[in-house]
Structures are given as structure tokens and as C-alpha cells.
Amino acid sequence: EAQVTQNPRYLITVTGKKLTVTCSQNMNHEYMSWYRQDPGLGLRQIYYSMNVEVTDKGDVPEGYKVSRKEKRNFPLILESPSPNQTSLYFCASSLSGQRLLYEQYFGPGTRLTVT
């Protein structure tokens, strides 16, 4: 089954404790992205990657890191989480190119709480 998987689905952590949220897709997509969803603010892009070793900042990159060492994986790293990073996080992927960039496939989400 074609899908985007994220782990963990739920995470409660404390301020300053490094964490990683994994994202993997099995559709051979070039483009992968991370979003955070907050009430009233919609989906805001954190980082995106056009292909292996190619990443760029989205609209809210502060406090996050990413890496793209393999085409299928795109982990999101919070080196020192803070309470304002409490949010619902989504990983997404798509084929790149003009026609297909808009058709993104989203994972099930990771609910992160930082106390």
C-alpha cells in the first residue's frame, strides 16, 4: 500500500530533551516536506526537500532540523524542544515537477506536547 508513515504518533516530552520524528514514504517520491498544524493558523511548512541531500527552509524553520540521506526518509529533529513547539506535525511527499507538486500525500500526523 502506497503510504507515508510517521513515528511516533503521539509524544509527550520535556523542554530541552532532543527528539526525532521519523517519516518514511514508499512511493519513490522526490519531494518531501514537514508541516505543523496549529488552530487558526492552518498548515505551515517547516522544511522541504526536493531530493536527496537537497533541503530548504519553509516558513517556520526555527528550532527544527532535517536531513535527507535517503530518498524514502525525511526525519524531523528538535534539538532542544520548547513549549511553543507543541503542535500537530505532518510529513508529506509528492512527485516533483510542475504538474505533480500540488498532489501531496500526507502522513497520519504526530501530536507533540512539550512541557
Residues in the site for another protein, rule: CB under 8 A?
A: 4, 30-31, 33, 35, 40-45, 48, 50-51, 58, 90, 92, 96-99, 101-109
Q: Say how far apart CA 110 and CA 22 lie, in whole Å.
A: 10
If DSSP codes are grouped into helix, strand and coil, which group holds residue 1? Answer: coil
State which residue, 30 or 79, has the beta carbon closest to another protein.
30
Q: How far is the CB of 76 from another protein (least distance, A)?
A: 15
Q: How far is the CB of 59 from another protein (least distance, A)?
A: 9
State which residue, 19 or 106, has the beta carbon closest to another protein.
106
Q: How far is the CB of 6 from another protein (least distance, A)?
A: 9
Residue tagged 512527485 (cell numbers): 95
State which residue, 10 or 115, has the beta carbon closest to another protein.
10
Query: For residue 8, is the peptide bond before it cis, meaning its omega torsion is within 30 degrees of 0?
Result: yes
The DSSP code for 85 is G
Q: How far is the CB of 90 from another protein (least distance, A)?
A: 5
State which residue, 31 or 81, has the beta carbon closest to another protein.
31
Buried b (16+ CB within 10 A) or exposed e, 16-38: eeebebebbbeeebbbbbbbbee
Query: Is the CB of residue 17 less than 8 Å from the CB of residue 81?
Result: yes
